[in-house]
Structure 1
Amino acid sequence: MSVWLPPAEYVNTIPRATAYACLYFTDTGGRPVQLRATYPTETWQWPGGNMDHGETPWECALRECLEETGIAFEGERKLLGTQFIAHRGEDWPANHIGFVFDGGTLTDDQIAAIVLDPEEHNEVRVHSVREWEVLMTPSNFARLREIDAARRSGTVAYMEV
Structure 2
Amino acid sequence: MNRDLSPAARERVGGPSWAPPEQYADTVMRATGFATIFFTNEDGHPLHLHSVYSSAHPWQMVGGTMEPGERPWQTAVRECREETGIAPTGPPRLLASVFGPPGAEWPYSTMGLIFDGGQLTAAQIHSIALDPDEHDELRVLPLAEWEALMTSRDFARLCVVVEARRTGVAAYFDGQD
Please, what TM-score do these two structures have when normalized by structure 1? 0.95
Counterpart residue identity of residue 40, structure 2: T
Distance 2:61 2:28 in 1: 30
Match of 2:129 among 115, 125, 140: 115
1:104 is the counterpart of 2:118: yes
* Equivalence for 2:3: none
**CA offsets 1:107-130 (integer angstroms, 9 cap, x no match):** 000000000000111111111111
Distance 1:11 1:117 in 2: 36
Is the 1:27–1:105 contact (alpha carbons within 8 Å) kept by the matching residues of 2? yes
The CA RMSD over aligned residues, in Å, is 1.1
Gaps of 5+ in 1: none
Task: Give the Å deviation of 1:160.
Answer: 0.9
Identity percentage of aligned residues: 47
Task: Give the Å deviation of 1:15.
Answer: 1.1
Return structure 1 stretches of 4+ with deviation > 2 angstroms.
none
Q: Secondary structure at the match of 2:130?
A: coil
Is the 1:22–1:46 contact (alpha carbons within 8 Å) kept by the matching residues of 2? yes
Please, what TM-score do these two structures have when normalized by structure 2? 0.87
Gaps of 5+ in 2: 1-15
Question: Where in structure 2 are the equivalents of 1:76-91 lying within 5 Å?
Answer: 76-89=91-104, 91=105
Q: Secondary structure at the match of 2:128?
A: coil
**CA offsets 1:51-91 (integer angstroms, 9 cap, x no match):** 000001110000000000000111320110011101115x3
Q: Which has the higher contact order (CA 8 A, sep 6+)?
A: 1
Equivalenced residues, count: 159
* Equivalence for 2:158: 144
Is the 1:33–1:46 contact (alpha carbons within 8 Å) kept by the matching residues of 2? yes
Counterpart residue identity of residue 144, structure 2: R
Counterpart residue identity of residue 94, structure 1: Y
Q: Secondary structure at the match of 1:76?
A: coil
